[in-house]
Amino acid sequence: MAERIPPDADLAAYLLGQLEPGERARVEQEVAADPARRAALTELEGAAEMLKRAAAPFEVPAGLEARTFRALERAIAEDDTEQRSTSRAARPSRRWLPRLALAGGLAVVLAAAVFAGSQLSGDDGPPGTVELTANLSAPNGEQAKAVVRETGIGRVVSFDSSDLPILPKGDYYALWFVGPGDSPETPDRISAGTFHPDPKGRSEVRFAAAVDPSKYPVLAVTSEKGDGDPAPTLPDVLRSTPQ
């Protein structure tokens, strides 16, 4: 009888592209026929997509998968004596150990990705205390929302907008924390970061900031030229009202 990959490992191997054509076809048939397998594959795919979208401040630690492989190799070596006393029928074939290692590595990396994604996701995602929820608007009707949370790494700002105009090449948008005394003559604001909308004008970005929103309670967005000038270009494109 042909040996088969343990069921929890073959989905990971499938996602990693480590299956031969016949094995890949078998997994696809099983997934199509079994709702539980489809759900498991969907969950892994979602975590993998989350890993791709993780931002730089929350990157998965370098070498994580390699360390997982080394740990698995050590465990195999330490358990070798005990495995010799176990019948072949009672233990998994060594032929699948590389793929089991890949599955283990994927599981650990995806677990880290889930953590990273939870730090970067929407209103219900990052752990910590919500300090400010701001609705930004413009006279022409454009809208945006920002949520500021205090977390273990400082403040995390989640900014979402669906209809910002696409700027000329080289220009960008900037998000600012604005203080009560801010004016064109005496600006009192701190940059939270810069961003570009996607081709449809949508923005879903996260910033790490070291700003106390109780002292800078207004959020504003400006349109900036890529000329290296750090001063804000007024008037504001979007702005919230003090709470």
Q: Supply the DSSP string of 1-12, one letter for each residue.
A: ------HHHHHH
Q: Return mean pLDDT, the chain.
A: 73
- Could you tell me which of 169, 34, 13 has the C-alpha nearest to residue 103? 13
123 versus 65: which is more confidently predicted? 65
pLDDT band at 163 (very low <50, low <70, confident <90, very high): confident
Residue 54: the pLDDT is: 45
CA atoms within 13 A on the CB side of 54: 24
Helix, strand, coil share of the chain (percent; to 5)? 40, 25, 40
Q: What is the pLDDT of residue 55?
A: 43
According to DSSP, the residues that pair with 135 across neighbouring strands are 145
Query: What average pLDDT does range 154-161 have in this prediction?
Result: 91
**Residues 90-103: tens digit of each pLDDT:** 444 444 444 444 44
pLDDT per position as a tens digit, 31-81? 888 877 777 777 666 554 444 444 444 444 555 555 655 665 565 566 555
- Give the distance, in angstroms, between the CA of residue 21 and the centroid of all CA atoms in the same chain: 31
Tell me the pLDDT tens digit for each residue of 216-240. Answer: 999 999 999 988 888 899 999 999 9
Average pLDDT over residues 185-199: 92
